[in-house]
Amino acid sequence: MTANSAIVSASALAAELAGPRPPVLLDVRWQLGGPNQRPAYDAGHLPGAVYVDLDRELAGPPGAGGRHPLPDPEEFGAVMRRAGVCADVPVVVYDGGQGWAAARAWWLLRWSGHRQVSVLDGGLAAWTAAGGAVTSEPPAPVQGDFKPTPGAMGLLDADGAAALAREGVLLDARAGERYRGEVEPIDPVGGHIPGALSAPTADNTGPDGLLLPAAELRARFAGLGATGGAPVGVYCGSGVSGAHEVLALEVAGIGAALYAGSWSEWSADPQRPVATGPDPQ
C-alpha cells in the first residue's frame, strides 16, 4: 500500500498482486441513476476482481433511511465472504475512476471492522493508463471468513448531523448548486442542513482523477475549519460521494463521521429545517 493505506496507486497495486500476499479485489463500478455496470465489468476487469453491486449489496432497500441506507450487517458480511474477503487479508476496491462507489465499499468495510482496506487511486482508468491488464474471465473466489463488527468508523444519524453542524464541522459533499438549493435533481427539496459547509467532493481530485496530495487536502479542509481539533462529519445525497470525502479526510489525517442517510433522508422529513443560499445558516 501507499504510505497512507486508505489509497493505493496503480503501480503499487501491481506490485502487491505479484507478491506473496495479494489483496482481494472488488470491482464496485456504479453510475448514479444510470445503467447497472455489470456488463462493463463482464467486458473487462482487473484479473481476479469480484463485482459488487452498490445498489443491492452495499445498501439496504431505499426508504425512510434514504436512497442508500446501510445494508444489514449480516447480509453485507455474506456478500463479502462470497467475494473472498477474509479478516486478515488486504482488500483493494476500485470503480470506473470517480472513486465514489469504491469509497462507499471502503467505508463499509472499515466501519464493519476490516483494518486493511484501500481504494485504488484513480480506479480502473488509472490502472489501464499505467498498462495494467484487464480480463473478461470470471473470477473464482475462495469463500472468505470476514464477519462484520460495526462501529469502527464514525456514523451519524439525522440528529447527530444537526448537532455537529452547530457544535463541530459538518461538510456537505454535494455539488455547490445543490447545497445552495438552486437545483435538486433527485431529492424532494434543495438546500442544506443548517450550519453545514459546502465542500464538494469533486474538488478533492485533480484533472487526472487522482486524489490531491495529502498536504493539499489538509490545506483545503483547514480552510473549512476541519483540522481535527473539532469533530468533523460529512454528508452528501445518499452516503456515496460523502464516503469519498471521508476518504479524502482520512488521507489528510483527519478522522470524520459519515451521515449515511444524508440529504435523501434529511429532506424526506418536512419537519426538518432546510437552509438555502451560499451561507451555512
pLDDT at 2 over 70: no
The set of cell numbers assigned to 203 is 474538488
How many other C-beta atoms lie within 10 A of the C-beta of residue 161?
A: 26
Answer yes or no: same fold for 7-129 and 155-266. Answer: yes
**Domain assignments of the chain as residue spans, ordered by start:** 7-129, 155-266
How many CA atoms within 13 Å lie on the side-chain side of 176? 5
- Residue 76 neighbours by CB under 8 Å, 6+ apart: 57, 58, 108, 112, 148
Q: Which of 236, 246, 252, 268 is catalytic?
A: 236
**What superfamily in CATH does domain 7-129 come from?**
Rhodanese-like domain (3.40.250.10)
pLDDT at 4 over 80: no
pLDDT at 169 over 90: yes
Report the candidate in 30, 26, 32 with the shortest Cα–Cα distance to residue 13.
26
Mean pLDDT of 5-12: 96
According to DSSP, the β-strands at 169-172 and 232-235 are parallel
The pLDDT tens digits for 132-155 are: 999 999 999 999 999 999 999 999
Using DSSP's 3-state secondary structure scheme, residue 162 falls into helix
pLDDT for 32: 85
Distance CA 88, CA 24 (A): 11
pLDDT for 280: 95
Mark whether 236 is an active-site residue: yes
The pLDDT tens digits for 256-271 are: 999 999 999 999 999 9
**Mean pLDDT score of the chain:** 96
Distance CA 250, CA 71 (A): 23
pTM, to two decimals: 0.96
pLDDT for 1: 40
DSSP 26: E
pLDDT at 3 over 70: no
Cβ atoms of residues 231 and 169 within 8 Å: yes
pLDDT at 186 over 50: yes
Cβ atoms of residues 247 and 93 within 8 Å: no
The alpha carbon torsion through 236, 240, 245, 248 (nearest 10 deg) reads: 180
The pLDDT tens digits for 213-249 are: 999 999 999 999 999 899 999 999 999 999 999 999 9
The set of cell numbers assigned to 193 is 442542513
**Would you identify the CATH topology of the domain 155-266?**
Oxidized Rhodanese; domain 1 (3.40.250)
Chain position carrying cell 482496506: 117
Share of the chain above pLDDT 70, in %: 99
Q: Which residues pair with 211 in a beta bridge?
A: 205
Cβ atoms of residues 211 and 251 within 8 Å: yes
The pLDDT tens digits for 44-99 are: 999 999 999 999 999 999 998 999 999 999 999 999 999 999 999 999 999 998 89
